Chains A and B, each alone.
Chain A
C-alpha cells in the first residue's frame, strides 16, 4: 500500500484552502474529491457553469475563483472523481475511482467533507418534485436548470432567500416563499445583536436579499406552522397553515417544492472513525470534537470547514488553512514560531467571520415541530420508516438509535442515516426523556458509499496505488485462505 504524507478529503473551500496552504510549504498534498470538478457545493461548477452573467449567482459564488485556480497549477495532486468509501485510524483510505477500488495510507488526513442540508421531514416530502433547496442550487450552478412554475420554497435561512433571488434574477418564477421561522426566534436572535453588528456585511447582504425578493413581488408567507406536500404519485400542491390563521389551511398548486432548514455537518467519516462528537444546542447538530487548529481527537486526523460545525464558506477556507498548518507542524515541516506567526492572523479573521453565527443560529433555528414530526411522517426515506414507528420502539424500552435501527431498519438503507439520523436522535431523546447526548447517534461503518462486491474483493490486493494509476490495471480478485 502506498503511503502519502498528507491526504485531504473534499475539494470545497476548506479542502482547497488546506491543499493550497500545504503546497505553499512545499508539501504536495493529495486532494480527493467525489465530484468531477472542484468547489464543493458552495462553489460548485465554478469553472464550467453555463451561467456566465456574474450577477446571476452573485459575488459570493465567484469569490471561490482563486481557490479553484490554485488547484490547477500543479503544486497540488488534485484527484476529482475519487470517492472515499473507507477510512480507519491507521490512516488507511479506501478509494473508488470509476470502477476501481483501491487503498492507500496517509500519514495525516484533513477531513473537509462539508455540510449537507438538514433533514426536513414533512408529510409528502418523499414525493417526486419535493427537493432540498440545495439541490436546486446545484442544478442551477452546474447545468443552468431551473424549476418551472408553479414553484414553492419553504423553510428558513439565508440559502432559501438566495435560491429565490437567483431564480428571480434568472427569470424563473417563484410562486411563494413559505417561511417557517418561528416568531420567538426574532426575540432570541436579538440577544445576539452584538455579533450581528460585528458581522454587518452578512447582515446587510441578508437584508438586501429580502429587499430583492420583495421588489420582485414574490409572495412571502410568514410563521408557517404546518406544511404538507401532496399529490398523486408526484407533487401537485402544497398546503400550509400559519400562526396568524391557525384554523385555515391555505393551498397552492406546485410542481416543485424546495425545502430548506439550514445545513448541518456531514459526520459520516468522523462517526465511522469513532471520534467524539458534541451536540451543538445552538446549531442543533452533532459536531466532531476539534481544537482551534482543527486537530481532532484521533491522532493524525484534522477537521476543517462546515464538517466540524457550520461557519460558512469563508470560515471554512480559514479553517482549511489552519488545519493544513497544524498538519504541517505535526509532520515537523513547521516550527512553533512559524506556526504561531501563521495561525494568529487567521484566528483573528476567523473570529470576525464567525461573529454573526450566534445571531444566525438563533434566528433560523427550526422549531421543534419541524425536527420531531408527527407519527405519520416518514423519517427514513430509504426504508420508509415513520416517526410513529420510532416512537413505538421507544415505548418498548429502546433507548438509543442503534437498537432502534436494528428493530425497525430505520437508517439501514444506502444513505446510511444521512437523512434520518438527526431526526431519530431528537425523537428518541424526547420520548425517553434522556438528553440527546445520552441518546447518541448511529454507529457508522464503512463503506460510506456503496461499493460492489467485485470492487471490495479487489480493494485489498496490495497493488501499489501509483502503479495502478499509471497502468490502469484491472481489479484482481484475491483468494486468501480463510482460517
Chain B
C-alpha cells in the first residue's frame, strides 16, 4: 500500500473516477501514481490466467499497470497523466473490441 507523504504539497487536487469511486489526487501525477497513492494495488488481471497484477516498473517498460482509461483499454497507467473527470477502470483480462 502506498500513500502521499504527509508534507506540504502545493499541487492542485484533481478528481478522477476509479471503478465508479471518486478519488482526489494531485495534479501532474500519472494515473498509476494516483491510484497507488489512493490505496489501489490491483490494476488488472492478466489475459493468460486472469491473475491480479499491479505496477512493477513505473517507467513504461513492464506493461503490468494496464488500465482502461476514458474508455480506451490496455493503456499504461504509469505513462498517462491524470486529468479532471478522467474515468479509470481495471483492465480485466483480454481487451474487448467495440463495434
Query: Do A and B touch directly, given a CB cutoff of 8 Å in the complex?
Result: yes
A contacts, CB < 8 Å to B: 34-36, 41, 48, 50-51, 116-117, 126-132, 134-136, 138-139, 142-148, 170-172, 233-234, 255-256, 266, 381-384, 413-415, 418-419, 449-450
Whether a CB of chain A sits under 8 angstroms from the CB of B52 is: yes
Whether the pair A233, B42 counts as a contact (CB closer than 8 A) is: yes
Query: Which residues on B sit within 8 Å (CB–CB) of A414?
Result: 63
Whether the pair B59, A145 counts as a contact (CB closer than 8 A) is: no
Query: Which residues on B sit within 8 Å (CB–CB) of A418?
Result: 61-62
Whether the pair A131, B56 counts as a contact (CB closer than 8 A) is: yes
Whether the pair A50, B61 counts as a contact (CB closer than 8 A) is: no
Whether the pair A381, B56 counts as a contact (CB closer than 8 A) is: yes
Query: Which residues on B sit within 8 Å (CB–CB) of A139?
Result: 2, 33, 36-37, 58
Whether the pair A148, B1 counts as a contact (CB closer than 8 A) is: yes
B contacts, CB < 8 Å to A: 1-7, 9-11, 26, 28-30, 33-34, 36-37, 41-43, 46, 48-49, 51-64, 74, 78-79, 81
Once the chains are docked, how many angstroms separate the CA of A41 from the CA of B57? 11
Once the chains are docked, how many angstroms separate the CA of A10 from the CA of B58? 16
User: Per a CB cutoff under 8 Å, which of A34, A138, A144 touches B58?
Assistant: A138
User: Per a CB cutoff under 8 Å, which of B29, B53, B57 touches A143?
Assistant: B29
User: Per a CB cutoff under 8 Å, which of A35, A384, A415 touches B61?
Assistant: A415
Once the chains are docked, how many angstroms separate the CA of A50 from the CA of B7? 9
User: Per a CB cutoff under 8 Å, which of A34, A48, A143 touches B4?
Assistant: A143
**Most chain A C-beta atoms within 10 Å of own C-beta, residue among B11, B29, B64, B78:** B64
Query: Which residues on A sit within 8 Å (CB–CB) of B74?
Result: 450
22 CB contacts below 8 A, A to B, read A50-B7, A50-B10, A128-B42, A128-B53, A135-B55, A135-B57, A135-B58, A136-B58, A139-B37, A139-B58, A143-B29, A143-B34, A144-B4, A145-B2, A145-B5, A147-B2, A234-B41, A234-B54, A381-B56, A382-B63, A415-B62, A418-B62
**Most chain B C-beta atoms within 10 Å of own C-beta, residue among A35, A51, A143, A147:** A143
A146-B2, A419-B56 known, 15 other contacts, Cβ within 8 Å:
A35-B60, A41-B59, A50-B9, A50-B26, A126-B64, A128-B54, A129-B54, A134-B57, A135-B57, A142-B29, A143-B26, A144-B7, A145-B4, A145-B29, A419-B62
Tell me whether chain B's interface is mostly helix, strand or loop, or mixed.
loop
Query: Which residues on B sit within 8 Å (CB–CB) of A35?
Result: 60
| Nearest 9 Cβ contacts at the A-B interface | A128-B54, A135-B58, A414-B63, A143-B33, A138-B58, A145-B37, A128-B41, A384-B48, A50-B9
Whether the pair B3, A146 counts as a contact (CB closer than 8 A) is: yes
Query: Which residues on B sit within 8 Å (CB–CB) of A233?
Result: 42, 52
Closest chain B residue, CB of each to CB of A53: B7
Query: Which residues on A sit within 8 Å (CB–CB) of B4?
Result: 143-145
Query: Which residues on B sit within 8 Å (CB–CB) of A36?
Result: 81
Once the chains are docked, how many angstroms separate the CA of A419 from the CA of B34? 24
Whether the pair B49, A384 counts as a contact (CB closer than 8 A) is: yes
Whether the pair B58, A131 counts as a contact (CB closer than 8 A) is: yes
Once the chains are docked, how many angstroms separate the CA of A286 from the CA of B33? 31
Given A126-B51, A381-B64, A116 and B43 contact (CB-CB distance below 8 Å): no
User: Per a CB cutoff under 8 Å, which of B7, B53, B57, B63 touches A126?
Assistant: B53
Whether the pair A50, B11 counts as a contact (CB closer than 8 A) is: yes
Whether the pair B42, A171 counts as a contact (CB closer than 8 A) is: no
Tell me whether chain A's interface is mostly helix, strand or loop, or mixed.
loop
Whether the pair B48, A383 counts as a contact (CB closer than 8 A) is: yes
Whether the pair B58, A134 counts as a contact (CB closer than 8 A) is: yes
Query: Which residues on B sit within 8 Å (CB–CB) of A255?
Result: 1, 41
User: Per a CB cutoff under 8 Å, which of B36, B41, B51, B63 touches A384?
Assistant: B51
Whether the pair B61, A116 counts as a contact (CB closer than 8 A) is: yes
Whether the pair B52, A234 counts as a contact (CB closer than 8 A) is: yes
**A288 CB to nearest chain B CB (Å):** 17
Query: Which residues on A sit within 8 Å (CB–CB) of B54?
Result: 128-129, 131, 234
Once the chains are docked, how many angstroms separate the CA of A148 from the CA of B4? 9
Query: Which residues on A sit within 8 Å (CB–CB) of B6?
Result: 171
Once the chains are docked, how many angstroms separate the CA of A170 from the CA of B2? 13
Whether the pair A146, B62 counts as a contact (CB closer than 8 A) is: no
Whether the pair A145, B33 counts as a contact (CB closer than 8 A) is: yes
Once the chains are docked, how many angstroms separate the CA of A32 from the CA of B44? 30
Once the chains are docked, how many angstroms separate the CA of A437 from the CA of B71? 45
Whether the pair A142, B33 counts as a contact (CB closer than 8 A) is: yes
Query: Which residues on A sit within 8 Å (CB–CB) of B46?
Result: 384
User: Per a CB cutoff under 8 Å, which of A116, A126, A171, A234 touches B59?
Assistant: A116
Closest chain B residue, CB of each to CB of A128: B54
User: Per a CB cutoff under 8 Å, which of A34, A48, A381, A450 touches B62?
Assistant: A381
Closest chain B residue, CB of each to CB of A449: B60
Query: Which residues on A sit within 8 Å (CB–CB) of B43?
Result: 128
**B24 CB to nearest chain A CB (Å):** 14
Query: Which residues on B sit within 8 Å (CB–CB) of A48?
Result: 28
Once the chains are docked, how many angstroms separate the CA of A414 from the CA of B53? 15
Query: Which residues on A sit within 8 Å (CB–CB) of B59?
Result: 41, 116, 134-135, 138
Once the chains are docked, how many angstroms separate the CA of A170 from the CA of B6? 9
Query: Which residues on A sit within 8 Å (CB–CB) of B28?
Result: 48, 142-143
Whether the pair B79, A34 counts as a contact (CB closer than 8 A) is: yes
Closest chain B residue, CB of each to CB of A140: B5
Given A233-B42, A381-B64, A144 and B5 contact (CB-CB distance below 8 Å): yes
